[in-house]
A = this chain, B = another copy of it.
Amino acid sequence: MAALAPDTGRAFVVGVTGPPGAGKSTTVTALVRALRARGERVGVLAVDPTSPFTGGALLGDRVRMQEHALDDEVLIRSMATRGHLGGLAVAAPQALRVFDAAGCATVVVETVGVGQSEVDVAAAADAAVVLLAPGMGDGVQAAKAGILEIGDLFVVNKADRDGAQPLVRELRSMVGLADRPPGAWKPPVLTTVASEGTGVPELLDALDRFRVAQAASGDQARRRLQRSRREVEGLALATLAGRLRREGSAALDDLAAAVRDGGTDPYAAAAALLARTDLR
């Protein structure tokens, strides 16, 4: 990472998130195709929900992005949502940094956007694309998914299906209701049929416009500073967590049993755990 540092900061990171079934993989594949047509090197980071038992990502590199699997200028990496030191908030930026230093002009991060950490990763991108599709439940369900407020661009995929236009209208109405300062970016609501490539050039154009606007306003630099803050803080915390685990492991068994059996409360147990280490 020290060696890579001077070569970072050039890639534009696009987060694509949305509920399962919205067509994220298809849209990312189409987006990568459009970026490759410009001759750019592209990185793809796919964040999968983790199997709680195996600790591995449920879908691997191999089953996704088959169209681009043999293209040397498309770098693809899958990452599970757990099992990383410091969690996804730390692991994802490290992977992005490698893509960045490897010369990817654009890196697309694909996450399943219902869990909070996945939403955080998408929101930490330079541009957050929220992908929805008609027929996935009503507006309350969309709000439940917690992804409406983070979008810099909204895309209604599968726009040839029934219900696409009402969903577009609903999203435009919600975007229109939000308070924003004069001159601030107003998230557009685009439509695509990603499986046919329809609407993808327009999505790319909108991303370009957003990039230029963000760089000019200083918002990109501010957002990247926040991302770096979280990353550094996350790594420092991961270091502390490792020490706590090593130094406190023996004490933790007794303390946890006492909590389970009602002999003490968890706050007192946590204080006792810290008292057994040099971290207190």
- Chain A residues at the B interface, C-beta cutoff of 8 Å: 1-2, 4-9, 19-21, 48-54, 58-59, 81-82, 93-94, 97, 112, 114-120, 123, 136-137, 140-141, 143-146, 149-150, 221, 224-229, 231-233, 235-241, 244-245, 248, 252-253, 255-257, 259-271, 273-274, 279
Contacts and interface: CB of A to CB of B under 8 A. Distances in A.
Contact of A117 (B21, B112, B115, B150): B115
A126 to B, nearest CB: 12
For the complex formed by this chain, how many copies does it contain in all? 2
B225 A144 contact: no
Contacts of A248: 233, 236
Interface of A is mostly: helix
A149 B260 contact: no
A98 B146 CA distance: 27
Contact of A231 (B146, B245, B259): B259
B5 A265 contact: yes
A191 B245 CA distance: 42
Nearest to A119: B52
Contact of A261 (B9, B114, B232): B9
Question: Which 10 A-B pairs rank lowest in CB-CB distance, beginning with the nearest?
Answer: A115-B115, A49-B146, A235-B270, A114-B114, A1-B265, A228-B256, A229-B256, A228-B259, A236-B270, A81-B116
B5 A221 contact: no
Contact of A2 (B93, B140, B265): B265
A85 to B, nearest CB: 10
A139 to B, nearest CB: 11
5 contacts: A20-B144, A51-B146, A225-B260, A236-B274, A238-B270
Given A225-B256, A228-B259, A239-B270, 19 more contacts: A2-B267, A5-B263, A5-B264, A9-B260, A21-B136, A48-B144, A51-B149, A52-B146, A52-B149, A53-B150, A58-B143, A59-B144, A116-B117, A225-B260, A229-B252, A232-B266, A233-B245, A237-B241, A279-B279
Contacts of A93: 266
